[in-house]
Copies of this chain bind each other. A is one copy, B any other.
């Protein structure tokens, strides 16, 4: 049994034992403890004591590709918790976010030899992405892409990278929506723009031959677009792929605390992402399903594939969305990637990224009419 080095964990064990005698005693002897977020709906109100988790070293797992190991081993993003204090600051952050991915966007476009055309639909700027070869099944199909970035980041072509990868890996035609964002255009501008584009596309494509997908804020918008379409009586797409949706802006999911500082993409809701979501929501009720689709009615939703990673700060949003879809008897499937933090299944040119896009493309192929 020598391969189980109990001694290395002696201190936390001693600490955890104190929990049996009362966690307040334990808290008194441990410095540097992140307090449970008192404003989060998940805390305190249950009347049950929080668990004290000791500090620890989290190694980079060998159970993923070397390329992904480098992503998992990277430090927290510089500036992850530099929260802009005014509109100028937010716009500066958006500009920097776009600049930071510009090289990747070019590399993706070139790698797949994509044609990317900018145009507008109902006045909303979009990118029409055409792969070198469209799969025979996909000739009459179209995928609609809604990018992420906390409703603030990745304006312009910077937001279209995920759409480009789907076009490339899946051999689909994709329309990526460059919707209006905060701070100038808070909720519901983004949803209004996506819905307006959806209406335009319905004039040219069979809804059953279209899918909608996106990650993070784009995953939430994918879900809220279905809620909006239901309420407006619009036809629904044949399938959707909301990936790691920010589906609950009250941040009540368990992983928001469990994966805080484990996730090296968002890191913690105390960083820019929490502030960005608040900026988008403004004074609206955070439980409004068009803001937090997890609080909506999922009955009648099209088949859905959900994607997240085990270290994702909002893994809980993904698994709760999956459960709620299943409770509504929707054909919903889940894929969770080992060791990945928020949205890292989008990292270009990593084997696991090809796998996640492959699964989503396969799902669309299985569920869209052709």
Contact = CB atoms under 8 A, between A and B. Distances in A.
Interface of A: 1, 3-6, 8-9, 11-13, 15-16, 19-20, 27, 30-46, 48-64, 69-70, 72-73, 75-76, 78, 81, 83, 252-255, 257-262, 264, 267-270, 274-275, 278-279, 286, 310-311, 315-316, 319-320, 322-323, 326-327, 333-339, 355, 359
Contacts of A262: 51, 53, 258
Given A3-B278, A81-B13, A316 B310 contact: yes
A contact face: mostly helix, strand, loop, or mixed: loop
Given A83-B6, A320-B63, A69 B48 contact: yes
A51 B264 contact: yes
Contacts of A62: 41-42, 45-46, 252
Instruction: Name the residue among A30, A42, A72, A338 with the largest chain B CB count within 10 angstroms.
Output: A338
A30 B252 CA distance: 29
A3 B83 CA distance: 14
A50 B38 CA distance: 29
19 contacts: A5-B37, A5-B270, A8-B34, A8-B38, A12-B32, A34-B55, A36-B58, A37-B59, A46-B61, A46-B73, A50-B58, A52-B55, A53-B58, A56-B261, A253-B338, A254-B311, A254-B339, A255-B310, A310-B319
